[in-house]
Every structure is written in structure tokens, then in C-alpha cells.
Structure 1
Amino acid sequence: MTEKTPDDVFKLAKDENVEFVDVRFCDLPGIMQHFTIPISFFDESVFEDGLAFDGSSIRGFQSIHESDMLLLPDPATAQIDLFREAKTLNLNFFVHDPFTLEPYSRDPRNIARKAENYLISTGVADTAYFGAEAEFYIFDSVSFDSRTNGSFYEIDAISGWWNTGSPNELDGSPNRGYKVRPKGGYFPSPPSTTTSTCATRCCPT
């Protein structure tokens, strides 16, 4: 990831006429959490003093009796959100103890940073990649339920091999075959894959 300074972040916000900053951080299971602030609330003090939040509202963090937590931004993660109607700058934050300013031990991003620093200290390597093999799936339908008496999940896709015997595709058109066999969908070409156009439209964003 390209190194950036706070000045780089402010310049990006100014050049892009940013209206809001989306403050992002991870809970203990690694799920991204966020809240949004107006750009007028985002100045140099955020990088020095951080932003306070209620840690008792986040899974795996603090109890309600000692819920105060602090967020400090990671300038390297600044980027413009391409999907918001209002021009928004997305920025990841590290979680810190508000009194000692020590990195919070249950923040997954802090844990990853410690692991990277340890790796560097061993001399084995200077770079670590996490989740380098990203999977990409396009489903036509996803449903699930969890009740007292049972639970289930079900996915469906036009290209699914289980639809080989269906008289029609999920969109109602005739079944034209070309279903990808089980465990054979890593590098199929058209017409076996039907989502190439969708995938290329997704890539720029």
C-alpha cells in the first residue's frame, strides 16, 4: 500500500471536494464497522488526538463500565468512496486506549501490524500478504434462515451445475446448457461462464 501522510489525505479531500469522511475500524471478529462525520469535523486534531467512540457497543471490545475508546487514522488507507451519492473519503482507523494511547490488543488491524513488525524483526521477510487470493462469486439468489426449530442456507446461480436438468434458466429463458462441472469453475471461458460482462463492469470500481 502506498505510504501517505496526513497532508496527503487533506490534499485528496480538498482536490476531490469531499463532503464526508467515513471512519472505519474492525471489531474483534474482523467485521468492518463505521460511522460518518462531516468534512468540517476532520482536521489535524484527528491525527493527533483521535476520535472517541463507545467500545461497549462493539463485539469483543469493552464493558459498559469502561467503554471509552479512541480511533487514530491510518493515512495510507485513504480513498474516495465510489458508491456514495455525497463525495465521501473512506479512511481506516486503528483502535487505541484513550488514557495510555497504547494500541488496543483486540483490534485486528493492530494485531496484523504487530505481526508484520515481528516478521521484519526476524529478518525472514519485510512484507506480509494476508488474504492474497481473493475469491469472486456472482449469485442470482441467496437465502437463509435460523429459527428455533431449524436453519438453512441456499444459493442459486444460472451457471450452477445443479441447474443442468432444469427446463428454464432462472430468468425464464430456455436452458441452453453450458453449465460448469463441479470444481471446474476457476478459469472457464464463454459460453460456459455467463458473467464476464458483469465482472468487467465491476473491476473499475
Structure 2
Amino acid sequence: MGRGKILSYQSDKEELLRKVEEMDIEFIHLQFTDIMGIMKNVSITAEQLEKALDGKIMFDGSSIDGFVRIEESDMYLKPDLSTFTVFPWTNFHKEARLICDIYKMDGTPFEGCPRNTLKKVLKEAEEMGYVMKVGPECEFFMFHTDEKGNPSLETHDDAGYFDLAPIDLGGNARNEMTITLKQMGFKIETSHHEAAPGQHEIDFEYDDALLTADNIMTFKMVVRIIAQRNGLHATFMPKPKFGINGSGMHLNLSLSTLDCKNAFYDENNDLKLSEIAYHFLGGLMKHARGYTALTNPIINSYKRLVPGYEAPVLIAWSASNRSPLIRIPAERGMGTRIELRSPDPSANPYLALAVTLKAGLDGIKNKIQPPEQVTSNVYEMETDEIKERGIERLPINLYEAIKELSKDEVIKSSLGEHIYKRFIESALYEWKDYSRYISPWELDRYLRKF
């Protein structure tokens, strides 16, 4: 079996080298993602590709935030051949990319690589008989830039949900993004203007979790590049402007059995949900406060998670309304899924999927039952009713989320010691820096008053 894999890799490698030569590709970008979800890139010429495919391209891991100390800095990039994609926007020379896993000098996977972290939890799911499927809903804003190309907060339209041209002035840029993504192999489902001025959404097809995480990173890169080519700045910052809806990244989650059946579907149940689905839901709810630091990892994330702007606040679920943390969309059969509505697009997709899967698997292992569903609008619930029903709320800021993560051993175990420590260090540094900053809001409110 192992020999078969070697032969398959060798033939795939030879086929890729042949393809690069035939297409006259000059540069290949070796891409990977750091702990905070920022894409990194090492560019090589086509002549160096075989060396890269043999895992011999080294880089200084101590120069990447959260990776390693300087005395243990040498790291290797191991390309995933299935991620080879040609960039369709290059004019003067052809360029392509490969997404890489990070390996240590001794040839073992680096525990600080977010892609390796997701693979580890996916392997745990596979050993339990499941494959995770994910469909993301990525929202983003597009703003005008100034004469120097710096982003402003001036939107290019005053359109709203599902509006179209001439009000939706970003429609041309969004169409170009959609065409580019399709050229790169994406299967686009919908593309539309979102609720806030300058806000957009492009949804792509539900797929295996690792491919989806790769696709989210590629999607963000393409959106920003195409926006720039149209004289706009695209941002995945969750809440760039006060008083309007923020950008979310709802995750539609399901498990398939190894024989490709939807493990969440049971036609004999009242909601046509299986016990596996209820237990997965129970795990997601039990660990919601623990994984929020990963699904909403920056200071600004918590400016979105407030009442009144369609983002979830309370840890509740429903099959009939969109106000709680978790919704069960109406589709059944192979489309049965759980929609987690709290994540935002600043999240590292590899880590966000790893922790949500781990939470759900814990629910399955320990047969965690979710509380009774909430059918009313949770935004309109009185405090007494919330207390009476024992409904918890999501953390209100990054510091609270970090504290909750530190108490959740299940979520910490999914990250591993290295990523957990480095993530906490980075988040605490950001929180302390933010806590010392004197904002314009404070000056406007207090300077003359006191």
C-alpha cells in the first residue's frame, strides 16, 4: 500500500513537471498560512520546481510570527500537488501556485503549521468513521482608495441586500472575481450584494474541510487582487464601520460516513436529524465559548458580535430562525447541515475548522445533548428569560474569549501546545496594545467633559 502511494506521487510529480513545461509557466508561488491566518509566499522559478516537489525548499521559520525561535529556525515546505493552480490574471509571464505544509528538519510535520493541525483533527474524525464537509459564506467590504492607493472608508455604493446595478457599483468587480475564481477551479454557487453599503458575498461549493480551508485562503487572495485591479480595496475586517452590519463567515457543517452518506440525516426523526447531528450540535454549543477566540480572533471581531446587526450573541440553536448562534437550514437528505453563524472572515480557516470539528466530535464521543431549541427572536428576549432558560452568551471581547479558551481542554488539545501558546501570546499582545490606546471616541467623549 505504501509503495503504491510512492508510485502515485512520483507519477503525479512527473505529470506536474510536464504540465508546467508545456504551459510555459515561469514562476511558482509556494504558499502557506501562519498561525494568525496570514498567507505567506515563497516564489521560485520553474527550474526549481522539482527541488520544491522533493521537499527541499527551506525557509527561516523564526521570521514568521508564532513559528519557532531563532535557534530552531530551519523549516521545509512540502507542496500539496493537488493544490496546483495557474493564476489567470498574469499578463507578461505565466505564474502558478502550490499550497504547502510545513515540515521540520527531521522530516516530521511541524506542529505549528495550521494546515497540519486541521489534518490531525480530520484524521481523528476519519478514525471515528466520518469526513467533514464545509460550505463557507464569506462576506467582505470594498472601499475606494485615495490618490496614493491607501484604503478609505468611502463605499462605492449605497446598495443593500440583493440590489443590482446601477446601485450596486461593485457588481463589475464582483463579476470579475467570480470569473477569476471559476478559472481557478472554484464552483461558484451565488454572488450578490450584501446588506450594508459596499458589502458583498460570493459563495462557493460545499466540499471536504481541507479543500474548503485552502479555498478560503485562495478566495481572500483573489478578492483582494481583483479589487485592487478595479481601483478598490477589499477587506475581510469584520466590522470596518460603525452603525452597519459586519462581515461574517458562516460555516455550514456536516459529517459524511466513509460510504458517502450524510451522517446528520435521519428521515425518522421529527426534524429529520440523526442522533449524531444532535450530539455534534451539543458539542458545538458546549464548547462555543472555548473556540470563539479562534473563530473570532481579533479585537474588531467583537464589534460585530453585538445585538441589532444580525450577528449572533447568545449560545442557542433553532431550526426556524436566524438569530441564534446555530441554525439548522431546511434542506434535508444529503444537504442536511448545521450552520454556525458566529465565525468571521478574519479567522484562520484551518484553525477555525479544526476547533469546530473537535467540539462536534467531543459531542459525539460523549453523547452531549443540546438544550431545547429557541424558536423566538433571541435579540428580543428579556434578561430574566435568558437566565431562566440557562442561555449563555458568547464572549464580549477578545480578552474574555482568550480566558474561555484557556479553560477548555478539548479545544486546547485540538490546537496542540505549540499553536495554543503562540496564539495566546499574540492575542494577549494585541489586547494589551489595544487597552493602552487612546481612541478618538474617548477624546470626543471625555476631553471637554472632565
Question: TM-score with structure 1 length normalisation?
Answer: 0.71
Question: Which residue does 1:28 correspond to in 2?
Answer: 35
Matches for 1:111-190 after TM superposition, within 5 Å: 111-123=117-129, 125-129=130-134, 132-141=136-145, 155-159=153-157, 179-180=158-159, 185-190=160-165
Q: Which amino acid aligns with 2:36?
A: P
- Supply the distance in 2 between the matched residues of 1:104 and 1:128 (Cα, whole angstroms): 25
The count of aligned residue pairs is 166
Query: What is the deviation of 1:154?
Result: 5.7
Question: TM-score with structure 2 length normalisation?
Answer: 0.34
1:6 aligns with 2:13: yes
- Supply the distance in 2 between the matched residues of 1:106 and 1:49 (Cα, whole angstroms): 18
- Supply the distance in 2 between the matched residues of 1:127 and 1:12 (Cα, whole angstroms): 31
Q: How far does the alpha carbon of each residue in 1:20-71 deviate from its partner, in whole angstroms, 9 at most, with x for none?
A: 111111112121111211111111x433343111111111111111111111
| Matched residue SS, 1:137 | strand
Q: Which amino acid aligns with 1:36?
A: S
Query: What is the deviation of 1:18?
Result: 0.9
| Matched residue SS, 1:9 | helix
Report if aligned partners of 2:74, 2:105 keep a CA contact under 8 Å in 1.
yes
- Supply the distance in 2 between the matched residues of 1:47 and 1:69 (Cα, whole angstroms): 15
Question: Which residue does 1:93 correspond to in 2?
Answer: 100
- Supply the distance in 2 between the matched residues of 1:194 and 1:49 (Cα, whole angstroms): 45
1:19 aligns with 2:26: yes
Q: Which amino acid aligns with 2:133?
A: A
1:195 aligns with 2:170: yes
Q: Which amino acid aligns with 1:73?
A: P
Q: How far does the alpha carbon of each residue in 1:64-113 deviate from its partner, in whole angstroms, 9 at most, with x for none?
A: 111111111101110112233321121111001111x1111111111122
Report if aligned partners of 2:102, 2:110 keep a CA contact under 8 Å in 1.
yes
Q: Which amino acid aligns with 1:128?
A: K
Report if aligned partners of 1:50, 1:73 keep a CA contact under 8 Å in 2.
no
Calculate percent identity across the aligned residue pairs.
Answer: 25
- Supply the distance in 2 between the matched residues of 1:141 and 1:48 (Cα, whole angstroms): 42
Structure 1 residues 77 and 63: CA distance shift in structure 2, 3 A: same
Structure 1 residues 191 and 38: CA distance shift in structure 2, 3 A: closer
For structure 1, which runs of at least 5 residues remain unmatched after alignment?
Answer: 143-152, 160-178
Structure 1 residues 191 and 83: CA distance shift in structure 2, 3 A: closer
Structure 1 residues 98 and 141: CA distance shift in structure 2, 3 A: same
Report if aligned partners of 2:55, 2:79 keep a CA contact under 8 Å in 1.
no
Question: Which residue does 2:69 correspond to in 1?
Answer: 63
| Matched residue SS, 2:77 | strand
Report if aligned partners of 1:116, 1:128 keep a CA contact under 8 Å in 2.
no
- Supply the distance in 2 between the matched residues of 1:35 and 1:158 (Cα, whole angstroms): 34
- Supply the distance in 2 between the matched residues of 1:24 and 1:56 (Cα, whole angstroms): 17
For structure 2, which runs of at least 5 residues remain unmatched after alignment?
Answer: 1-10, 181-450
1:41 aligns with 2:14: no
Report if aligned partners of 2:144, 2:152 keep a CA contact under 8 Å in 1.
no
Structure 1 residues 89 and 191: CA distance shift in structure 2, 3 A: closer
- Supply the distance in 2 between the matched residues of 1:49 and 1:35 (Cα, whole angstroms): 13
Q: Which amino acid aligns with 1:204?
A: I
Q: How far does the alpha carbon of each residue in 1:94-135 deviate from its partner, in whole angstroms, 9 at most, with x for none?
A: 001111x11111111111222222222222x313327x1122
Task: Identify, as 1 or 2, the structure richer in helix.
Answer: 2
Structure 1 residues 203 and 53: CA distance shift in structure 2, 3 A: same
Report if aligned partners of 2:143, 2:152 keep a CA contact under 8 Å in 1.
no
